[in-house]
Chain A
Amino acid sequence: MEIVYVYVKKRSEFGRQCNFSDRQAETNVDIQPDPSLAKNFIERDPIDAAIQCASDMSEHEVNTERFEMENEGVNHLEGGWPKDVNPLEMEQTIRFRKKVEKDENYVNTIIQLGSLMEHCIKQNNAINIYEEYFDDEETADVADEPPSAKTINVFRDPNLIKRTATHLSWHPDGSKKLAVAYSSLEFQRSSRDMSYESYIWDLENPNKPDLVLRPSSPLVSLEYNPKDSHILVGGCYNGQIAYWDTRKGGQPVELSTIEFSHRDPVYGMIWLQSKTGTECFSASTDGQVLWWDIRKLTEPTETLVMDISRKGVLENALGAIALEFEPTMPTKFMVGTEQGVVITCNRKAKTPAEKIVGTYSGHHGPIYALARNPFFPKNFLTVGDWTARIWSEDCKESSIMWTKYHMAYLTDGCWSTIRPAVFFTTKMDGTLDVWDFLFKQNNPSLSVKVCDEPLFSLRLQDNGRFIGCGSKLGTVTLLEVSSGLCTLQRNEKNLATAMFERETKREKILEARHREMRLKERTKAEGKEEDVKVETEEKKPEELLARVQKEFFEIIEAEIRRKERADKLSKGQEKEVTDENEDEGPYKEE
């Protein structure tokens, strides 16, 4: 069926513009509501309607690119053999090779390449084009470049709830791995969801930890065994000691019994130099230092109570935080305490009282780090409160050198293993300071802001170049120090020796003077005492008070009398003057 619509239009009207005009509204369709349809629906009463008086916001997620790297090796296999030759069969391969060698092309090529190759070989033998001509001369002064530190890698705590990286330990050979102990040191701040795990990181892979250690309580300190790189020992937050074997996985091989462990978090843990390589000792703020043998963690082999009065009373004991042990001096060790005192102890002493050899006090707060200078074992560094101090074993009264008081609390420190006068400290404001004491003593040579949160731990790698710093949110930053700070300058050892000796001498002289002054005072006091011996026998506080009061009033009265006398004298002088006047008076009158 054709639908056709015919219309007529004048030719002159073709192409004209459209003229639109308004028209009144017309109702085209009107559909009335049908009440019968309402029966298909059920009325709802009440109705939940949500209203919100808030501005409309939209949420966007952006993921910054973080690429994951994995190292994989490629295995080369023999290939390329033609199909009829079996590469494993010696005969076939030899036959193939012989066939190739008979080829004329082969002969020509080899002869030609051979001559080319000989030319180069002879070149090599004639002269070494890469010869170092100025090797013997010393390299130019590297100190020209300002010291700097570069961040190499950052290892973040993969858990949601971040814990503080409290202790770092480098793998003993090669330092390719870093063991980090994570725990929350804030009092009762650890939530139930906080994971107890600590990690061993491989430096090449910051995305995933190499091994996950699962103790029964968060680890506060963790150390690799310097003799056996598979063994690690860790001190827990609840005072127990645990040891791991990396070959056996993440569960501790053995855990010490709670009854014989510490009662407070184990802050310090060091391996001892022993034939078996299984001995270590630990320190905690409960005031004890315990010695353990890894093979039998059920009870410690020895205990020592950090009581300065040498009575072994646990109540008077000082809480130990930092431990120091130098393998070259196996019988001595040092403990840094919460009260700011460093205690030197002798392990081989016969009685516990003799074990504590001496104390050094000088810090106002807990000593967080204690380290001997690897080049001058008699000098050691302590880091605590707002300063870092260098001590000499001979001077017990005070430190021989110290840094100025900083704005932020110092949390950790260590000596450089290459330069004798360089040490590193970390602060609560997230900065790492490098001090070069031969160069500048009032300010750090280099101050690097590592992160915004406080830094809690610091560990230098054995080659002295790389430093790992752990922060409050569990981020471990690996920094590389510029070569000027980790290459031994010429004469440095002599200069450092001279500096330490000079400072030690100065302190000794001051000490001697103080002692003399005190001795003089004491002898003066003793002289007076012999006269007034009788009076000084009363020791009761009331009598003492009465005596003091009496003395006080006596002094006051003596003063008043003196004043009166002075007044009288002056009045007397006036009187004389007036007398004279009076004398003169009668003359005048007369």
Chain B
Amino acid sequence: MAEVEETLKRIQAHKGVIGTIVVNAEGIPIRTTLDNSTTVQYAGLLHQLTMKARSTVRDIDPQNDLTFLRIRSKKHEIMVAPDKEYLLIVIQNPCE
């Protein structure tokens, strides 16, 4: 339990990280550092996108699976680490 806290705190403390969200398989945000409406939006949209990405990868090669998803946009980068049941989403601003 404490390790989870420590891990999430460490992630949030990195340079440029704007927010962290943990989402379960049903799209319910379990832990978040952002406000509710933003969290709900990110959770809903990224959940669907991750499912789509995973199915795409597996369609091309059934032995393959999605390990990480990175979306780089003008303003920041959204990183999604998927798992069977949970989703870890981190939004970082990689400005140099």
Instruction: Give A contacts to B, CB under 8 Å.
Output: 76-82, 96-97, 100-102, 105-107, 109-118, 120-122, 124-125, 128, 130-131
Please report the C-alpha to C-alpha distance between residue A115 and residue B68 in the assembled complex, in whole angstroms: 12
A510 to chain B, nearest CB (A): 55
Q: Is the CB of A124 within 8 A of B92?
A: yes
A9 to chain B, nearest CB (A): 70
1/0 per residue, CB under 8 A from A, across B77-90: the answer is: 10101010110101
Beyond the given A76-B41, A76-B45, A107-B1, please list 8 additional residue pairs across the A-B interface where CB-CB is below 8 A: A76-B44, A79-B27, A100-B24, A106-B85, A109-B83, A120-B79, A121-B79, A130-B72
Please report the C-alpha to C-alpha distance between residue A380 and residue B93 in the assembled complex, in whole angstroms: 49
Please report the C-alpha to C-alpha distance between residue A124 and residue B79 in the assembled complex, in whole angstroms: 11
Question: Lowest 7 CB-CB distances: which A-B pairs, in order?
Answer: A80-B26, A114-B7, A113-B81, A128-B96, A124-B94, A113-B88, A80-B27
Select one of B3, B30, B90 contacting A111, CB under 8 A.
B3
Q: Does B11 contact A (CB under 8 A)?
A: yes
B residues near A125, Cβ cutoff 8 Å = 14-16, 94
| Known contacts A80-B27, A130-B72; A110/B14 CB under 8 A | no
Q: Is the CB of A97 within 8 A of B31?
A: yes
Please report the C-alpha to C-alpha distance between residue A238 and residue B85 in the assembled complex, in whole angstroms: 72
Select one of A97, A117, A128 contacting B94, CB under 8 A.
A128
**A125: nearest chain-B partner, CB-CB:** B15
Q: Is the CB of B88 within 8 A of A124?
A: no
**Interface size (B, Cβ < 8 Å)?**
38
Q: Does B66 contact A (CB under 8 A)?
A: no
B residues near A97, Cβ cutoff 8 Å = 30-31
Q: Is the CB of A109 within 8 A of B10?
A: no
A residues near B81, Cβ cutoff 8 Å = 113, 116-117
Q: Is the CB of A110 within 8 A of B1?
A: no
A residues near B94, Cβ cutoff 8 Å = 124-125, 128
Q: Does B70 contact A (CB under 8 A)?
A: yes
Q: Is the CB of B72 within 8 A of A117?
A: no
Please report the C-alpha to C-alpha distance between residue A102 and residue B68 in the assembled complex, in whole angstroms: 25
14 contacts between A and B (CB under 8 A): A79-B44, A81-B26, A82-B26, A97-B31, A100-B24, A106-B4, A106-B85, A110-B22, A112-B83, A114-B7, A115-B7, A117-B88, A124-B16, A131-B96
| Known contacts A80-B27, A117-B81, A121-B11; A106/B86 CB under 8 A | yes
Q: Is the CB of A111 within 8 A of B92?
A: no
Please report the C-alpha to C-alpha distance between residue A114 and residue B83 in the assembled complex, in whole angstroms: 11
B44 to chain A, nearest CB (A): 5
Q: Is the CB of A120 within 8 A of B68?
A: yes
Q: Does B34 contact A (CB under 8 A)?
A: no
B residues near A117, Cβ cutoff 8 Å = 11, 79, 81, 88, 90
Q: Does B40 contact A (CB under 8 A)?
A: yes
Q: Does B17 contact A (CB under 8 A)?
A: yes
Q: Is the CB of A124 within 8 A of B11?
A: no
Q: Does B53 contact A (CB under 8 A)?
A: no
Select one of B8, B14, B27, B45 contacting A122, CB under 8 A.
B14
Select one of A111, A121, A122 contacting B7, CB under 8 A.
A111
A residues near B11, Cβ cutoff 8 Å = 114, 117-118, 121
Please report the C-alpha to C-alpha distance between residue A96 and residue B24 in the assembled complex, in whole angstroms: 12
Q: Is the CB of B3 within 8 A of A121?
A: no
Q: Does B28 contact A (CB under 8 A)?
A: yes
| Known contacts A79-B27, A125-B15; A120/B70 CB under 8 A | yes
**A98: nearest chain-B partner, CB-CB:** B30
A83 to chain B, nearest CB (A): 12
Q: Is the CB of A78 within 8 A of B40?
A: yes
B51 to chain A, nearest CB (A): 13
Please report the C-alpha to C-alpha distance between residue A101 and residue B24 in the assembled complex, in whole angstroms: 11
Please report the C-alpha to C-alpha distance between residue A115 and residue B7 in the assembled complex, in whole angstroms: 8
A residues near B1, Cβ cutoff 8 Å = 101-102, 107
A91 to chain B, nearest CB (A): 16
* Interface hits, B1-39 → A, CB 8 Å: 1, 3-4, 7-8, 10-11, 14-17, 22, 24, 26-28, 30-31
Q: Is the CB of A101 within 8 A of B70?
A: no
Please report the C-alpha to C-alpha distance between residue A105 and residue B86 in the assembled complex, in whole angstroms: 10
B residues near A80, Cβ cutoff 8 Å = 24, 26-28
A residues near B26, Cβ cutoff 8 Å = 80-82
B62 to chain A, nearest CB (A): 23
**B84: nearest chain-A partner, CB-CB:** A109
B82 to chain A, nearest CB (A): 8
A residues near B22, Cβ cutoff 8 Å = 110
B residues near A82, Cβ cutoff 8 Å = 26
1/0 per residue, CB under 8 A from A, across B30-73: the answer is: 11000000001100110000000000000000000001101010
A116 to chain B, nearest CB (A): 5
Q: Is the CB of A109 within 8 A of B16?
A: no
| Known contacts A78-B40, A118-B14, A124-B16; A113/B30 CB under 8 A | no
A residues near B85, Cβ cutoff 8 Å = 105-106, 109
Please report the C-alpha to C-alpha distance between residue A114 and residue B88 in the assembled complex, in whole angstroms: 8
Which of A96, A111, A121 has most B Cβ within 10 Å?
A121
A131 to chain B, nearest CB (A): 6
Q: Is the CB of A110 within 8 A of B86?
A: yes
Q: Is the CB of B28 within 8 A of A81?
A: yes
Q: Is the CB of A110 within 8 A of B27?
A: no
A residues near B10, Cβ cutoff 8 Å = 114, 118
Q: Is the CB of B4 within 8 A of A111?
A: yes
**B93: nearest chain-A partner, CB-CB:** A124
Q: Is the CB of B44 within 8 A of A121?
A: no
A residues near B72, Cβ cutoff 8 Å = 130
A residues near B31, Cβ cutoff 8 Å = 97, 101
Q: Is the CB of A124 within 8 A of B40?
A: no
| Known contacts A101-B1, A128-B94; A116/B7 CB under 8 A | no
Q: Is the CB of B30 within 8 A of A100?
A: yes
B residues near A130, Cβ cutoff 8 Å = 72
Please report the C-alpha to C-alpha distance between residue A113 and residue B88 in the assembled complex, in whole angstroms: 7
A556 to chain B, nearest CB (A): 90
B residues near A128, Cβ cutoff 8 Å = 94-96
| Known contacts A97-B30, A121-B92, A128-B94; A110/B8 CB under 8 A | yes
A residues near B15, Cβ cutoff 8 Å = 125
A residues near B27, Cβ cutoff 8 Å = 79-80
